Structure 1
């Protein structure tokens, strides 16, 4: 009888345990993007602190305000006392040079609507996801790694999809929903790519070994999940979003709910990844309740290309260039809300805002076109005819 350590099986002869190894890479990918996001928040801290000192960080976080009795615009300049000529200290000169250097990230690539900084972030994101899918994974015989990485995209998709999130607050002013939504679109496409790799290779294996593709619950729910995810990607293409936004939004919500149901029937490993998206969406709905305002507005259409909306009785809670989601009750389109840029500063800083804020809706889709047509028709009714002059 002998004693000692048991013999070890060589790595080349060990069977790959997908349900042990693949979740490790799933967690590694999550650690990568969470670390990158944490580093971005730390880098943005000086900007956030500066905005907090100036009172701009929380501007608009709880919605616009009105009727607070604030004084309107008043000039602070006078001929007797002129401000001193601005001078740059050595520290400010270095900051100016640094701002000039990092402005390279704002270079925009034609036809992509993405600047150099966004392209770099997307390339790093895609590369890290592909490495986690391919590295030391026998995808042909066991394509589960791609499925696990598809689950890992759930929090990213919803974190950057919500219009109201604490992430925008932590990143400081200028990082609203419209600035971060490109990551939502990329995460959705990466999720579809990973699911397509997983599903297509499993279908190949089932065909090779004569196994049924439809029939058993796991296979049927997997095919249904892939179909739902493919439908989401196809219905999210820019022409559909631009020209049929209302249909896109309704189908987007319906197909994602159906996709969640199918994927939970497909794999028991999907359930834990559903809770972070639900938390992000719940926080978004809660902040929307805090920001809802019902206001009277004056709407004019100077031509068939632009509609101007002046919202009355608003004297704070926004800065010029910020976005707000506007819902206009006209022609049965009550359920639609769209982000529009604020064209004016608050009344305390600009004489153009009294007594409210000014929005511009350029005709660029079905909702803005319908709003412009409705306003022009109503304006025509207000124009007196020759008989009314008589």
Structure 2
């Protein structure tokens, strides 16, 4: 009996009120993913890393590119000696002879094996994952755990006390609830990436995966309603028509987001993505009034990202300098404001490229100039921001051709009159910079506790090697006043196609090498010199190999050489195939090796679309 004395309806005869019950589970889902995220952050070292970076001062760096707006009598450019060395190396010099750097061992203390055991357990679990799924390293284990937890929360909220056969609206409400984490992981200026002290590109895989989950729940929502109505399913209902419009935009986004289209037709993907987002939000509010509370947080996140990117935008004059198989991009008036290893998005303004051509990411090669430095010391180091673009696609090949020929209606080849202003030959262009992006002050060498850092790069990923070596030199120079870094040896491995590509950057690499920073270059397409040919000269602390590297064997050799140490950090930058190979090689290192070197960590820098 009810409170008014009327008989109550038995539970088996009650009509399922979806509009009252299902929104509660959308909120439960939100509590679930927020609670899981907070729990993961609580047991991670992210907050400790933020505190350390705040104390060291790195927290205040890497947000915006600062400009030198003071009037100058001439445009500052690369140091003349350095630039002439680059041009001379580009022409090639066959009178070279072999020299190899003397290898030295290291005797260092050994950490407790606890960290090594944890890393070994994650690596062992990673080896159980098929190679096609990215198996081989601890990173894939973290990703799998995140996916399992997220899917578990989704399934629990979908199936708990739901009557999907009679009213499948629960799938629709869960689709709406997933919009906030989807957009949270999509932006470049990402609050979550900031808390994790990492770059947005390191967690963008989760955005792609959540996008597929959103499409799947929306598909289940529509398919079950169509099955429920059967042959009576009609488009005369306005709610149904708007629902089909919403689902069409979701399908457009999902179809154009598959890997082949993203890789081969990125402009098409970008345009379709923007159209589908606008269309989705424009139609979902007409499909259901319950969508309105769920569309405000994604719009707010995206608006914040756009505002932050507008603040970071810089329009600058730049100079294109052609090298062998690469192009050096010099922006002289961008002086500091980035951290070593960060990257910017670059757009070049010419009539040959459409205004819809997306900006392209490049790792910053040059070290930031401290504001207290004088102009003379800055010019000596090459005053400005320097990027390196390898000829690996149509856009970068067009840049290289432009740098060589200067043929464009919106650019001009530097004349003899201009040479007096720039000190160097090249092609002057106007560029737009968006950045810097990447890890905030958490993963610099100043906070690195491993004693040995092994950095492996492919092609134009050498920018990451140079930035790392520059940071190491600056850190070791200041170590007397405030010693924070535990790094004692850095091994640089560069995988590049030809000897000419190496010699074109030899003038930049050689000054950074020492007994503590050594370079191994693997030339994959250059045959070794014959007995009748002069062998190329190798600078001190450099070794040339005319073979494709076996990264697994190389890593094991370096581990044996440096053991025992208090930790090894392996970093990779370059093509996605090389980065995956390095990650698998790290995962294949056995427990005994990890224990002997005090644990192995891995970090990747790769721009995958």
The TM tier, using the shorter chain, reads 0.7 to 0.9
Runs of 5+ unmatched residues, structure 1:
70-84, 385-390
Q: 1:191 aligns with which of 195, 214, 234?
A: 214
Partner of 1:79: none
The C-alpha deviation readout for 1:93-127, integer Å capped at 9, x for no partner, is 45x85377358668696444573322321232223
Are 2:172 and 1:153 aligned?
Answer: no
Aligned length: 358
SS of aligned partner of 2:269: helix
Are 2:348 and 1:318 aligned?
Answer: no
Structure of greater relative contact order (alpha carbons < 8 Å, 6+ residues apart): 2
Deviation for aligned residue 1:274: 1.0
Partner of 2:14: 14
Partner of 1:101: 118
In the superposition, the TM-score normalised over structure 2's length comes to 0.53
SS of aligned partner of 2:349: coil
Deviation for aligned residue 1:309: 2.3
Deviation for aligned residue 1:382: 7.0
Assess, with a 3 A threshold, how the Cα gap between structure 1 residues 102 and 342 changes in structure 2: closer, same or farther: farther
TM alignment of 1:249-328, pairs within 5 A:
249-304=270-325, 306-328=326-348
Give 1 or 2: higher strand fraction: 2
- Shifted more, 111-120 versus 128-137: the winner is 111-120
Partner of 1:358: 386
Q: Is the 8 A contact 1:319 1:346 kept in 2?
A: yes
TM alignment of 1:120-199, pairs within 5 A:
120-172=145-197, 175-199=198-222
CA distance in 2, matches of 1:10, 1:317: 68
Partner of 1:340: 362
The C-alpha deviation readout for 1:3-54, integer Å capped at 9, x for no partner, is 9976554444433221122112111111111122333444311010001111
Are 2:71 and 1:54 aligned?
Answer: no
CA distance in 2, matches of 1:164, 1:31: 24
Partner of 2:573: none
Deviation for aligned residue 1:285: 1.4
TM alignment of 1:28-107, pairs within 5 A:
28-42=28-42, 43=44, 44-61=46-63, 63-67=64-68, 93=111, 97-98=114-115, 101-102=118-119
Q: Is the 8 A contact 1:104 1:116 kept in 2?
A: no
Deviation for aligned residue 1:140: 2.1
The C-alpha deviation readout for 1:238-292, integer Å capped at 9, x for no partner, is 2211221122111210121111112111111111111111111111111112211
Deviation for aligned residue 1:357: 2.8
Deviation for aligned residue 1:58: 3.0
Q: Is the 8 A contact 1:161 1:184 kept in 2?
A: yes
* Moved segments of 4+, more than 6 Å: 2-6, 85-88, 349-352, 379-384
- Shifted more, 308-317 versus 266-275: the winner is 308-317
CA distance in 2, matches of 1:301, 1:334: 24
The C-alpha deviation readout for 1:138-170, integer Å capped at 9, x for no partner, is 222211010000001111121111111333322
The C-alpha deviation readout for 1:157-215, integer Å capped at 9, x for no partner, is 2111111133332222xx1221121121111111100000000111112225x241x12
- Shifted more, 366-375 versus 343-352: the winner is 343-352
SS of aligned partner of 2:367: coil
Partner of 1:76: none
CA distance in 2, matches of 1:310, 1:101: 44
CA distance in 2, matches of 1:229, 1:47: 38
Partner of 1:119: 144
SS of aligned partner of 1:359: strand
Give 1 or 2: higher helix fraction: 1
Deviation for aligned residue 1:297: 2.3
The C-alpha deviation readout for 1:60-109, integer Å capped at 9, x for no partner, is 22x1113399xxxxxxxxxxxxxxx9987xxx945x85377358668696
The C-alpha deviation readout for 1:337-364, integer Å capped at 9, x for no partner, is 2222223432459999631233233455
Partner of 1:73: none
CA distance in 2, matches of 1:345, 1:283: 29
Assess, with a 3 A threshold, how the Cα gap between structure 1 residues 364 and 244 changes in structure 2: closer, same or farther: farther
CA distance in 1, matches of 2:170, 2:61: 44
Assess, with a 3 A threshold, how the Cα gap between structure 1 residues 340 and 8 changes in structure 2: closer, same or farther: farther
Runs of 5+ unmatched residues, structure 2:
71-105, 416-609
Assess, with a 3 A threshold, how the Cα gap between structure 1 residues 54 and 126 changes in structure 2: closer, same or farther: same
In the superposition, the TM-score normalised over structure 1's length comes to 0.80
- Shifted more, 352-361 versus 47-56: the winner is 352-361
